[in-house]
Structure 1
Amino acid sequence: MHDSYSELILPFGSSSQLTEEYINASGGIRHGKLMEHLDSLAGSISYKHMLGPTVETLGRIQERGFYIVTASVDRLDMLAPLDPTRNLRLSGQVIYTGHSSMEVAVKMETIGMGHPDQTVLLGRFSMVCRDANTHRAKQVNPLVISTPQEQALHRIGEVMKQRRQSSALRSLSLVPPSSSEAEALHSYYLQYGQGGKHEPSQFSTSGEVWMGDTKLEKCMQMFPQERNVHQKVFGGYLMRLAHELGFANASMFTQNHVRFLSLDGISFARPVPIGSILRLTSQILHTSTTDMEYPSLVHVGVKANVVDIGTGSEQTTNDFRFTWYREKADAVHRRVVPKTYQEAMLWLEGKRALELGAKIRGLRRKI
């Protein structure tokens, strides 16, 4: 397992020029740019697992006979705010392998500058290996476990894969919501979705807002400067675009500054071609005031579609889910209210994501 370990140091504490490239409008570090690095790191770790720890260059994909792509991102959880005055270490390794898949655990830590190292983010990527000629699943190298610590990581990777498979079977696109979820949805709609008190725009001061009024989107052309080794748009770049649009939506919806809490999941359905038109659409899916640690949570979905400029038809390439929390707890809380059945299912998906995040934080506090 340790053969695939890789790390990247970003010397924010000692390089003002680097900090200037990553700084956001509030004086912090742009999370979206760090996500680009994490996706690239997960890919490098996966190739290192397949090619060996001494590999220095990837070379031509056809000569290697295989390629690796990101299938999904299970979670990225922020554990503490980033300190822009300290160096940042991004690291990770393969912790579990299936027939053609690899679970990659990643970590971000603030290091040095006279303070003890602090873990600020933990996350997991699911990578898959494909034959370069047939594009079918290709078997990956089995994982050798050497220490009790590696055995514990391997068990975590196995549990994560099983949980992802279980969640897929419980998807609301396949099965109806549970009776408790249906009851919660009905109660919420009776309390907030009736009475005609909603304003037609999320920019109003009303406490309740129709989900359909929270959409925010942008269209842009994909240029070759953002291509990966497969000559498609780099997945980390898409993560950054989705994160920045989601942040803008969450900020305008809450009418306050928000902080990133978690990336709750990303699915990669198909690659994005260079030269294509990409439509990114964000929407507020769920809001919550029940979390004691974060009393004002906003769950945002961002969908990426490739637009066929000849026919106008669209194909979904990625589905992103993020959670932010509002910094000012004393501000008026705004609630998103679904109006259609499809929106109701999205509302329940957001509810599930926030409940899972709260459960993970609770387990971490016990540890």
Structure 2
Amino acid sequence: MSKAVIRPLLSLKQLLRSTSCLSSNVSFHQLREVTLSAREVTPITIKQARNLLMDMVGTSYNTDEQKVVKGKDLLPIKSSQEECPVRTMTDSYQEVIIPLGQDQEVRQKYLTSMQGFRFGRILEDMDTFAGLICYTHNQDPSKGQNMKSPLSTVTALVDRIDMHGVALSPFKDVRMCGHVTWVGRSSMEVTMIVEQDMDGTREQVLTARFVMVARNPETKKSGTFNIRVKPENSVWMDKTILKNLRICQPEQKNLYNKIFGGFLMRQAFEMAWANAAIYCKGRPVVQVVDDIVFHRPVEIGSLLFLSSQVVYTEGALMQLKVHAEVVDPLTGSRHTTNDFYFAFDTNQPDLPHVVPKTYSESMLFLDGMRHLRD
């Protein structure tokens, strides 16, 4: 694991938004309700989860002989996602119980010397749980449940752990639930929630997002995960790109014989507005212009490339980013001049959600979410 950021959230509403940020603007509980209505899940214990995970893994590494050991009934290794079965978030949903209130032997492993809760145990259990969810997603239902995955899947990053201000008790059962919320070619994000009964009500203790990666044990290169389908009322982020090219003429120069900064801002805004109008099929109204930094001057005669993209949507609001780059036609050198951020109100509560497909798009998504909410 590369890092873990533990921060309190301001409100439960913000928590629920953040847990689904890489799939849609639906809360995690709403996603779980959809999942349970489509696929009944019987909670298993953490011990059963470890055993099930071991059974799903089709290959292992023999440290004594320094070689990969293949199991039986392995699924074929896919070279591209087009060969993989289509999976939904519903397919990967799992629930696990840590029976602290029922099993004294298990409870002893989670108790501190001061009768508190060993938080490190939860970190360990979440790592196991994320692996189970990942392998569940990568199953091929058409081949049967007994077929094992040929890929080695490991934790690459603990992206974020949000504490909700509720202390875990070592004397009550802990419930973990989660599913895959984003899938790339060789990496995926798993979102998990840890809950515990407090005075008769189930309280959320924390939310965690783990990034898992797949490795081909034979080639030692990246493996390929099953593709994830696009949620309803959504648009893939790579379908929202709008580009333009302008020649920087002398008429746009400033007093210092460079291209006027106001010209760049006008071009970026008009590009963003046009993109937003195409996306919502309406006439959006600008709400916020954010973080316009001029990195370097633009020379007369250079080529100005503008690339606009919808990077985040929430309710009727949408966040667009415009990347400005100049090219010297004589030398071919390229330089970024500006990154513009524009927030628009579309007055459409059912605005389609933008969904990232790749890791770089997910970073744009998170960046856009922070700009819109800040």
TM-score, normalised by the number of residues in structure 2: 0.40
TM-score under structure 1 length normalisation: 0.41
- Structure 1 or 2: larger helix share? 1
> Considering only CA atoms, is the larger Rg found in Structure 1 or Structure 2?
2
